[in-house]
Amino acid sequence: MMKTGLAAALFLAPGLAGAAEIELASQIDRVTVYPDGAVVTRLGKATLLQGVSQIVLRGLPATVDPTSIRVEAEGDGPFTIGAVDVRQIPGEARPAVDAALEGKIRALQGEKAKLSGEVSAVEAKRATIENFGRTGPDKLGPDGKALPVTDWPAIFDAIGTALVKVQGELLTLRNRISDLDAEIAALEKARPHGARAGQSRREVAIAVEAKAPVAAEIAVSYRVSGASWLPVYEARLTTGNANGGAEIVFTRRAELRQRTGEDWSEVAVELSTTRSAQGTRAPELSPLRIAFYEPPVVYEERARALRQEAERAGRPPALAVAPASPEPAADALQKQQAEIQTASISAGAYQASFMVPGRVSIPPDGSSKAVVLTQGKLKPELAARATPELEEKAYLEASFSHEDEAPLLAGEVYLHRDGAYIGKGRLRQVAPGDKVELGFGADDRIKVTRAPVRRRENDSGWLGSTRTDQREFKTVVKSLHAQPVKLTVIERVPFSENSAITVELLSQSTPPTEKQVGDKRGVSAWSFELAPGAQKEIRLAYRIKYPGDREVVFDQTRR
């Protein structure tokens, strides 16, 4: 058996216009699917004539990347492969619009536009509050007169509370807009890429030469767009009891879609984590200039001056898989639970791939095809976490180490606790050996209360000297569990990047076990274990000092 090959060869073949054409009847044998495309391999057989001829593979999608074509062949006699010619062929006029998909995209875009309007309204509200705060209590009374000094603390509290609430509203709206952008991008990627009205298709002509007739087997592979896969996860937590510890059944799935215009029926499928359509080098970073903030009027005047200067110089100015229902109880004596067929993993130095077992059919209409990649039982660590400043409630969290050789890509995770579906979360990319942390809903057996204990401001005068603002809070957590539980309470103290504003943590504060949580300045954690029926009190007290002739605002930094 003779074998020959040609990788990514694209030449205009001179002198082949009169060569005999042999149509290659082929079928798709295997597909490697990437998060942003696919490489398709077709197999076919042909009997080569003596002399020069052309093997023609017809009806390929218009989205074939001509530079990606690779040809390999073998036969029962010697022959050579020459030029590979890719031709544009007018396609059949037919619509390829998915009305349901387009309707969902329009609905999401409308929701995004509505949220953008709400963001503008909230930003206007924040600007109004900030302008109100700049007025000063010496002008807030009737007829622009000064308010009584005894009313100032209430005004400051109202302004601070309003700003914190507005910042929280903005953060929620912007996070939702970001989620909508991701959903819209995923749906747009799933739009039809097959033949449309007036859209051409492609055919590949392969020049071959044989000294005698040869029975040949030919493999043609090429890259197409319009195909993708997304990771989807499922975590089923059993919290355990006195007779057994906690356990998580963690399943990694892949959600495949394709709109290439080809029929992927009974094909071998391999999934790769490599993104073949993205850049191959890191992006260039531009210089970042810092300057003092200038009021809008001054800024507009300076911008106008810069534009005029530039004109004089002649240059310009600067998807979801539905959660599976719980399995019915099985009679251990008569029934055996079916085993889940999983993929084999091949992890390299820079990427990982999953070979899906058996043969798979993926319809060309963009509908989802879900396959199980891995599944395992894990022993997690359970703990509760509370952020009482935002919500007087504790949430159950489970953490475990990811020991698979392939990383967990970012994706949605469907969460179940003790047989009940509790919601959907988001998993960030996790490398082998790193910790996975998942939230499993509110823990109603932990009671959390938080209350202000003291608020004191100095009244030394509006101008001059130093103003102080001292605040103290008390948080009490109580366990109603029948067994010990681990709990982490998160609190924050404002931080300043201006030397004229100082923040001091007072001695009556309960010392935290973690002074700074990650890279979040001013955010601290108190971790401890609560015995059944026990409670713990955490006090937080701090003092802010700043010039008496200035006002301060609290601005939440986004992470």
Residue 184 has pLDDT above 80, yes or no: yes
Whether residue 354 lies inside any domain: the answer is yes
Which of residues 162, 189, 216 is at a domain's end?
189
Q: Is 220 in the same domain as 241?
A: no
Whether residue 557 lies inside any domain: the answer is no
Cα distance between residue 231 and residue 254, in whole Å: 5
Whether residue 76 lies inside any domain: the answer is yes
What is the rounded average pLDDT of the residues 107-121?
88
pLDDT tens digit sequence for 193-211: 655 555 678 889 999 999 9
Residue 122 has pLDDT above 50, yes or no: yes
Residue 298 has pLDDT above 50, yes or no: no
Phi, psi of 370 (to 5 degrees): -105, 135
**CATH classification of the domain holding 138:** 1.10.287
Cα distance between residue 222 and residue 64, in whole Å: 7
Structure tokens at 170: 């903005």
Q: Is 407 in the same domain as 462?
A: no
Which residues, 6+ apart, have CB-to-CB distance to 493 below 8 Å? 503, 505, 522, 524, 540, 542
Q: Is 129 in the same domain as 209?
A: no
The β-bridge partners of 108 are none
Residue 351 has pLDDT above 60, yes or no: yes
pLDDT-based confidence at 31, cuts 50/70/90? very high
Whether residue 309 lies inside any domain: the answer is no
Q: Token match 């216009």: residue?
A: 17
Cα distance between residue 467 and residue 160, in whole Å: 16
Q: Is 43 in the same domain as 180?
A: no
pLDDT tens digit sequence for 527-557: 999 999 999 999 999 999 988 878 888 877 6
pLDDT of residue 506: 93
pLDDT tens digit sequence for 402-436: 988 888 888 999 999 999 999 999 999 898 899 99
**Rounded to a whole number, what is the distance in angstroms from the first to the last CA of the chain?**
62
Structure tokens at 294: 């200038």
What is the rounded average pLDDT of the residues 491-517?
91
Which of residues 390, 407, 442 is at a domain's end?
442
Range of the domain at 146: 99-189
Give 507's DSSP letter.
T
Whether residue 169 lies inside any domain: the answer is yes
- Global pTM reads 0.62
pLDDT tens digit sequence for 166-176: 888 888 888 88
Q: Is 424 in the same domain as 457?
A: no
> Is 10 within 8 Å of 69 (Cβ atoms)?
yes
Cα distance between residue 472 and residue 142, in whole Å: 32
Whether residue 316 lies inside any domain: the answer is no
Q: Is 252 in the same domain as 369?
A: yes
Q: Is 259 in the same domain as 397?
A: yes
Number of folded domains that form the chain: 4
pLDDT-based confidence at 12, cuts 50/70/90? very low
- Residue 291's CB is within 10 A of a number of other CB atoms, namely 5
